Amino acid sequence: MWEFADMKIMSKLLAGFLALFLSFSAMAERPAVRVSNNNTYLALGVSSIRLSEGADSVSPFNVYGRLGYNFTRYIGIGLEGSFTVLEDDFQNVNYGINTVFGYLKGIIPLGEKSKIYAVVGPANVKVKASDGSGSYSVDDDDTAYGIGFERELDGYGFTIDYIKYYDNQGIDVEALNIGLIGYF
């Protein structure tokens, strides 16, 4: 019988295979129009990030930046970093979360200016907590994965995605990100 830890490993492997599947299966059906002529992109946005352990959770407000490069219209790589600008508190302790995420990106173009994508790669999550007696932080690494949508609007665009940065030892860190993206 599958154990819970085995299911987590399987979900991460599935996300990785999904990213690769999206990139390779999209190549089989090539749309006539290229989504963008510019392969490098920079995105800046806001993130509703959530750390949960059991029934308890905190949701600080983060900003993020992303720099990436699409090798083809179906596959790319990128690096993302986020940090807390508005902490959340739980039982008189303020929490902030910083993330760094390097990813492989599988892309499926949806017509002329839109695309969906899946991302998977290594992530580092640092949780900072502070109260009246001081502060402390802890960080750990995991395999992050997610799915998103991007829409181009004449040299810039917007992106929205869901990313699971950390899922280990009963602790989850996930985010809903919304941002503006520039192509160059």
Number of domains in the chain: 1
Q: What is the pLDDT of residue 175?
A: 97
For the segment 152-181, the average pLDDT, to the nearest whole number, is 94
Summarize pLDDT for 86-99 with one digit per residue, the tens: 999 999 899 999 99
Q: What is the pLDDT of residue 54?
A: 87
For the CA atoms of 149, 153, 157, 160, the dihedral, rounded to the nearest 10 degrees, stands at: -30
CATH code of residue 38? 2.40.160.20
Tens digits of residue pLDDT in 18-67: 555 555 444 444 444 444 467 999 999 999 999 999 889 999 999 999 99
Share of the chain above pLDDT 70, in %: 80
pTM score: 0.78
Q: Taking the CA atoms of the chain, what radius of gyration do you get in angstroms? A: 17
Quick one: pLDDT at residue 169? 85
| C-alpha closest to that of 128 among 100, 101, 97 | 97
Predicted local confidence at residue 17, as pLDDT: 52
Task: Give which of 86, 94, 103, 105 is closest to 142, Cα–Cα.
Answer: 103
In which domain, by residue range, is 31 found? Answer: 4-183
Here the tokens at position 129 are 């907590």
Strand intervals (E) in the chain: 40-53, 56-58, 61-70, 75-86, 88-90, 93-110, 114-131, 134-153, 156-168, 171-183
